[in-house]
Structure formats: C-alpha cells, structure tokens
Amino acid sequence: ALELKWLIRILLKDLRISLKENSILECFHPDAKDLFDHTSNLFKVAVYLHDPEKRLHEIGLSIFSPFRPMLGERTRADKIEQLIRKKSTNPTAALAEFYIETKYDGDRFQLHRDKDQFMYFSRNGHDYTSVFGPDSNNIGTLTPYIANTFKIDCEKCIIDGEMVIYNRNEKIIHSKGDSFDVKSIQANDSQLQPCFIVFDILMYNDEVLTNRPLNERLQYLHKKILEPIEGRITFSTIKPGACNQDVINELNLAIEERQEGIVVKDPWSVYKPNVRENGGWYKVRS
C-alpha cells in the first residue's frame, strides 16, 4: 500500500514533500541546476556530473540538444531606465542605453542547423522537426523554403526566435488570438505559412556564443548567418532606446499593431538559459 501511494503521487507529480526540483539538483551536484537549465536533459546531468567533486567549469551547448531559453523579466515601461542604469554590465552604465524589440504573439522556438540537417524545439524542449521539416529535400512547412538562405561560411548554428503565422495574401502576421496554431499549418496551405523571427544566436559553427554580450551576438546574427526572406525567416526589428519615453512610445506602437508588447534588452547582457530575473531582458506588455 505504501509503494502504491508513492507511485500515485509520482504519477500525479504531487509528492507533498515541500521539495522542489532545484533543491534535489543542488544536492546531487553544485553544477546540476546550471547544466539542466542549459540542456533540459536529466540523462546528461547524471552522466556528466556523477562525481560531485568534479566541477563543470564551462557548460557548452550542443547541436540538436534542446535547452530552456532565456526569458524576460516582467516590469513597467516607466521603470526601464532605472533598471538599465542599476543592473547593466555596460562600462558606461551611467547612460541608459538599451534595445527595444516587438514582442510577437507567437511560439518561442530554437532552430538547430548542421549543414542541411535541421531541428526545431519549442520553449519546453518538444521536437517539432517533423512539422517544419528535417532538411531541404523533405516535406515541411518551413525548412524547404529557408535552407538556401544560410550563408556558405555558416555550416552550423543555433538560433533563438519566435515562430509566427504569416498570411502571404494579406502580408500580415497573425496572433494567437486569431485562433491559429503555427504547429498545425499544412504544407499545402494556400494562405498561411510559418515565419521564424530570429532575435538571438547561441552557436556559430563550433563556437558557443552565450558568454558574449548581446551586441556582439547580434553582429554574428546579422552579418554571418542568413539572408532574410519576407514571410519565411527574418530578423526581429531592433530600435535603440535611452529613456522611459522611448519605451512608452514603442509600447504604444506595438499596441496599435495588435502585438503582445515589447521586450527591452541590455546590449551587454549575456545569454543565460532558463533565467528570467536579473538577466538584462525586460518584458513590457500592452
């Protein structure tokens, strides 16, 4: 009876022991939480960190292995300037300099590419490669249309972005509120198609870029990765900001365009998987 009780609790994910997963990971190994945040893979945690005396000094991303993406800290438009001045690692942080991006109402995705092999993972690490296409020769709603956009020198990459629904007849981006699911679009749909809006890069060829500041990562993204195609794959629009009024103006514009809001980013922020607080990204919703 005792074993059955605990089996049921495990199945229901309700152990009632007031112990969170982070506490268990920290007991297993000092670096276990960081590695799990990077990979979302308990098997790797168990294999790589079986010796508690051996520290994982550098956690590297690996191609075709999903990770939990970096998130935005929720805040108000009138607090951005203060937050950037206080928390930025910019050596001239006395100046409140930041990037402002539109927050599209789509699905967060990461795209892993190694030559002509593609994989797509959702925010929670679910594999949707069969939907979007594993390579340029297979049926898919996205890969066959973007495979040739990547530059010759870019053989391997991991990019982060938002998967949205693009209406090629009306040339508009639909929101989730329009009752469309980007993962359910058919390859032969005459009107709707997925469009990947890219806003960050974590790996270029064999170089992991997570410890580089955002302004450097964006240089890689815009100059070395791909040529955008309208309605298929494009870069997130970035505007500079220096005060709260800049944030308010862009938020009002996002509201007019029926977008979800904006994201304000510290140009000096590094990429921290599965981090929301104190990461340098701030989400301001409409």
- Look at residue 59 in the predicted model and tell me its pLDDT: 52
Rounded mean pLDDT of 219-224?
96
Same domain, 133 and 266: yes
Give 3-state DSSP helix, strand, coil % of the chain, rounded to 5. 30, 25, 45
Nearest to 243 by CA among 94, 78, 90: 78
The total number of structural domains in the chain stands at 2
Per-residue model confidence (pLDDT) at position 62: 87
The two counts, helices (H) then strands (E), for the chain are: 9, 12
State whether 16 and 108 are in the same domain. no
61 within a domain of the structure (yes/no): no
Query: Same domain for 105 and 229?
Result: yes
76-126: per-residue pLDDT in tens? 999 998 898 888 777 665 567 899 999 998 999 999 999 999 999 999 999
Indicate if 34 and 82 belong to the same structural domain: no
The parent domain of residue 211 ranges over 66-286
57 assigned to some structural domain: no
In a domain, 55, yes or no: no
Half-sphere exposure of 54 (CA within 13 A, CB side): 7
Q: 79 or 274: which carries more pLDDT confidence? A: 79
Is 59 within a domain?
Answer: no
Residue 214 shares a structural domain with residue 280: yes
**What CATH number does the domain containing 135 carry?**
3.30.470.30
The answer on 141 and 9 residing in a single domain is no
Residue numbers annotated as active site = 103
Q: For residue 12, what pLDDT is reported? A: 79
Q: What are the C-alpha distances in Å from 96 to residues 45, 76, 120, 174, 219?
A: 39, 16, 35, 33, 21
- Is 126 within the bounds of a domain? yes
| CA 125 centroid distance within chain | 11
**Spatial contact of 264 and 254, defined as CB atoms under 8 Å apart:** no
Co-location of 109 and 225 in the same domain = yes
Radius of gyration (Cα) for the chain, nearest Å? 20
